Amino acid sequence: MSNSTAKLPPTLDKNRRLDRWVRINIEGTVTVRTGKVEIGQGIVSAIAQIAAEELDINYSRIRMMPVDTTISPNEGSTSGSRSVEEGGEAMRQACAEIRDALLQAAARKFDTSLEKLSVEDGTIRVRGSSDTITYWQLAPEANLARDATGQVRPKHADEFKLVGKALPRLDITAKLTGAAFIHDLVLPGMLHGRIVRPPSYRAKLLSLDDGAARAMPGVRAIVREGSFIGVIAGREEQAVKAMQALARGCEWREQADLPDVDAMPEFLLAQAAEDENLSDKSAASTAPGKTLTATYTRPYLAHASIGPSCALAWWHEGTLEVWSHSQSIYALRDEIAKILKLSPDNVIARHADGAGCYGHNGADDAAFDAVLLARAVEGHPVRVQWMREDEFAWEPFGPAMVVKVGGSLSVNGNVTEWKEEIWGNRHVSRPGRHPDPGLLAAWHFDQGYEPPPAVDMPLAMGGGSQRNAVPYYDFPGQSVINHAVKAMPVRTSTLRALGAYINVFAIESFMDELAAAAGIDPVEFRLRHLKDERAQAVIRAAAAKAGWKPNAKGDGTHGMGIGFARYKNIGDYVAVIAKVAVAESVRVVRVVAAIDCGCIVNPDGIINQVEGGIVQATSWTLKEQVRFDRTRITTRTWEDYPILNFSEAPKVETVLINRPEQASLGVGEGMAGPTAAAIANAVFNAMGVRVRELPMTPERIVAAMGE
Amino acid sequence: MTETIKLNVNGVEHSVTAEADTPLIYILRNDLNLMGTRFGCGLGQCGACNVLIDGNNVASCDTPLWAAAGKRTTTIEGLGTPDHLHPLQQAFVDEQAAQCGYCVNGIIISAKALLDRNPEPGEDEIRAALDRNLCRCGTHNRFIRAIQRMVREAKGNVAR
């Protein structure tokens, strides 16, 4: 963790008032407001743990509040595995300053110096005296209505009492006993809404016969705005039935404007693109050895959260209140205000927990749907829930991509030259990143709003499509080019790990191909190309835990493979070793991961994320692909989109390397790419077959065997 | 056409007025305020809405109200409360067996159905019993560990 306090952490710098972050309550609790949201990753509990640590209070005193635009700090979006890095650092500094303010107040009260004071669970003692006072007693006189200064140093790692401990999450008991999600919110006078989406992205509504729906019991209003249609009813099942009746009354004009789902690589390679050089360094001329090339592909992938998106909206007395499980509550508020030409001051957005969020899904869109429906029944809150079919057909997918890699080896088996090119859409279409409205319903208005083009973050901030496209290895010569495809026929946006999933899959598969060509063990081959000792350490730790045997060959059906990456090249270090059994399909039997994420806040929280990320990436890698015909998304239900089940989920063992003196690094996404590569490399190790197209279905394995 | 239908949910008799083909999940959630039963797919494919009806593990999104009439329905709220967790729920808390937690209650219900007919299942039997429950966060192994913990502890209690 950083010792420097000269500069405030960026999100604290943007939200300096200390009382925005923490309120000390006279009854002995502490209200804590983070700008980061719980999306199933346990982050709110990790930030609570950091707050308790710096304040020197018991974890059980903390009351975490959901993000609320009337009061919470604005920390941007909860994404990119940045929550502990950004939100945790800001909370740490804010709480250190608040603890200092309380101690200063106590010192004044007892006319003593700070050095004489100690704190335990909010009780301040004066050394060598019987004087004590509590935070709760001091609350009225400690002035927190002031800005952070950066003049107070947070704790050193050797002072930690709570950070580094496996404390239980704050939200789990409620979730497995009853109401806990946005889906479960009930407001007085609440009505239920459903949306009738067009059958395809650019379908136009020619006519609507809503007579049958209007006559149905409980129907309160039907909303039509261009090709956007919604219905509001008193009871939820009434809204569902009315939605079905409305759908039957629609006549649409559709166009066959989608590419061939089975020829996406060819489509992407043929498109106009914005080209950018990500890395360009020329090697001193070396005697050429072997040269290899290979092409890797991934399909569109769905977030496919188990709970479809849900939102509530309520227009009353000139104010619009919205509840959403969006990752970016402030940006959602601003986007709604922008489209409807409202002042953001008249819009309140609040977070409530949704089902697992693995990137930009339907959450923001559902919120705007609820806003549009609720406008028709002012004074009544409206709850909109998407149906499963809505979520599959309309969520933005993780983009299909192609990566071509070429590499040359010296006679002693070192990489001398690396050439890599990537093709695909950029990855970020979140609301608020573009002047055009980034909320689905607006594209169906008669105004003819267009979906905004996706963007990428700069590479220095982790990028998007180009995330992890530049290898972390030290090669003498290297060129990496991103061809950001402009045409976006299928709606896409961020999915966990963004471009890093395929970029690492490609780099790490190709490293194995080069290692095989050089006749060098894959672990040894990686180590000799890495200078960073932390990178080497995770590879060694994973190999030791997995029982890696150098140069061991598989037996035709069983094999082991490794994948490594440093997420975004600036984040956590991840080495994954997969053991597979190949019969009619690939089964991942066991996965070992070694992680270095700097200072560990909650080891069990990290292991939970790592286990989950590996199982999810195994599912993507073996099974998943969004399907469409030339007009419509045809993936609509779980039958169309099988995911890994309990019998198929691999066992996962995690080795954590704690570095308490280093900055904490997020762990949500780093394992996705290494897992895909480890599986492909294990298949190669098992049977000598190289699979370069995802997902690795039985058909693809058979096809690869023929090559 | 609405009808008035008698239900027994978590041991309590209820009388609800709704169309008889209303999916049971909406009655449980919106009429009886039992929000622990979660809507996932509406097609009986994901298990998030599982409940026990006369001990059978069924998808409440895919079960019409009339089919539950006169039968005993058990939801997650019928197992335990935050202050008095059922041993299965306690085992899930002890293992921190959740990420987003949306699928968990359906999984606990499936586990309850399994343990009621087989109090000491092996790991493969547990996995097979959960194969109709989907989890997207990848928490599968924690769920299995939680169920194994429950089995272990139940056995320990009997031995004592």
The per-residue DSSP string of A194-208 comes to: EEE--SSTT-EEEEE
State how far the Cα of A608 lies from the Cα of A631, in Å rounded to an integer: 40
Q: How far is CA B150 from CA A212, A651, B154, in A?
A: 52, 19, 6
| Domain CATH code at residue A118 | 3.30.365.10
The type of residue at A506 is A
Q: What is the mean pLDDT of residues A554-578?
A: 97
Which residues in chain A have Cβ-Cβ distances shorter than 8 Å to B105?
A: 175-176
What is the model's pLDDT at position A395?
98
Residue A347 lies in a domain: yes
- Is residue A145 located within the same domain as residue A194? no
State how far the Cα of A219 lies from the Cα of A234, in Å rounded to an integer: 7
- Is residue A534 located within the same domain as residue A613? yes
- Is residue A555 located within the same domain as residue A627? yes
Contacts of B122 (CB under 8 A, 6+ apart): none
What is the model's pLDDT at position A433?
83
Q: What is the CA radius of gyration of chain B?
A: 16
Contacts of A248 (CB under 8 A, 6+ apart): A212
Closest CA to B40 of B56, B32, B51: B51
State how far the Cα of A446 lies from the Cα of A201, in Å rounded to an integer: 15
Domain containing A189 equals 182-254+303-394
Q: What is the mean pLDDT of residues A108-125?
A: 97
Give A286's pLDDT tier (boundaries 50, 70, 90). Answer: low
Indicate if the pLDDT at residue A3 is higher than 90: no
Q: Do A184 and B29 touch (CB under 8 A)?
A: yes
Task: Give yes or no for B17 touching A (CB within 8 A).
Answer: no
Burial A32-62, CB ≥16 within 10 A → b, else e:
bbbbbbbbbbbbbbbbbbbbbbbbbbebebb
Residue A244 lies in a domain: yes
- Is residue A649 located within the same domain as residue A604? yes
Residue A262 lies in a domain: no
Average pLDDT, chain B: 96
Q: How many CB atoms lie within 10 A of CB A249?
A: 16
State how far the Cα of B97 lies from the Cα of A646, in Å rounded to an integer: 14
- Is residue A162 located within the same domain as residue A49? yes
Which residues in chain B have Cβ-Cβ distances shorter than 8 Å to A355?
A: 38, 100, 102-103, 136
- Is residue A470 located within the same domain as residue A371? no
- Is residue A194 located within the same domain as residue A323? yes
Percentage of chain A with pLDDT > 90?
94
Q: Do B128 and A647 touch (CB under 8 A)?
A: yes
Q: Looking at the complex, report in whole angstroms how far the Cα of residue A378 sits from the nearest Cα belonging to chain B.
A: 22
- Is residue A582 located within the same domain as residue A691? yes
Q: What is the mean pLDDT of residues A514-539?
A: 98
Q: Looking at the complex, report in whole angstroms how far the Cα of residue B71 sits from the nearest Cα belonging to chain A.
A: 22
What is the model's pLDDT at position A360?
97
Smallest Cβ–Cβ distance between A183 and the set B18, B39, B144 belongs to B39
- Is residue A235 located within the same domain as residue A315? yes
State how far the Cα of A115 lies from the Cα of A126, in Å rounded to an integer: 9
Q: Looking at the complex, report in whole angstroms how far the Cα of residue A105 sits from the nearest Cα belonging to chain B.
A: 38
State how far the Cα of A596 lies from the Cα of A528, in Å rounded to an integer: 19
Closest CA to A323 of A338, A309, A311: A311
pLDDT digits (tens, 9 = 90+) for B36-67: 999 999 999 999 999 999 999 999 999 999 99
Percentage of chain A with pLDDT > 70?
98
Residue A176 lies in a domain: no
- Is residue A246 located within the same domain as residue A212? yes
Residue A517 lies in a domain: yes
Q: In what order do the strands lie in the sheet with A586-596?
A: A558-566, A573-582, A586-596, A651-657
Q: Which H, E and C letters describe A303-321, residue by residue?
A: CCCCCCCEEEEEEECCEEE
Number of domains in chain A: 3
Which of A133, A168, A203 is where one domain is finished?
Answer: A168
- Is residue A308 located within the same domain as residue A406? no
Q: Looking at the complex, report in whole angstroms how far the Cα of residue A609 sits from the nearest Cα belonging to chain B.
A: 8
Residue A534 lies in a domain: yes
State in Å, rounded, how far the first CA of chain B is from the last one: 56
Residue A225 lies in a domain: yes
pLDDT digits (tens, 9 = 90+) for B105-136: 999 999 999 999 999 999 999 999 999 999 99
Domains of chain B are 2-79 (3.10.20.30), 87-159 (1.10.150.120)
Which of A125, A140, A168 is where one domain is finished?
Answer: A168
Give B158's pLDDT tier (boundaries 50, 70, 90). Answer: low
Q: Assign 3-state DSSP to chain B and report helix, strand, coil percentages, each to 5.
A: 40, 20, 40
Q: Do A355 and B102 touch (CB under 8 A)?
A: yes
CB contact residues (below 8 A), chain B span 50-109, against chain A: 76-77, 80-82, 85, 89, 92-93, 96, 98-105, 108
What is the model's pLDDT at position A432?
87
- Is residue A240 located within the same domain as residue A375? yes
Strand partners, A429: none
Residue A307 lies in a domain: yes
The type of residue at A658 is N
Task: Give me A327's structure tokens.
Answer: 């990752």
ipTM for the predicted complex comes to 0.97
pLDDT digits (tens, 9 = 90+) for B80-102: 999 999 999 999 999 999 999 99
Q: Which H, E and C letters describe A546-569, residue by residue?
A: HCCCCCCCCCCCEEEEEEEEEHHH
Which of A139, A168, A197 is where one domain is finished?
Answer: A168
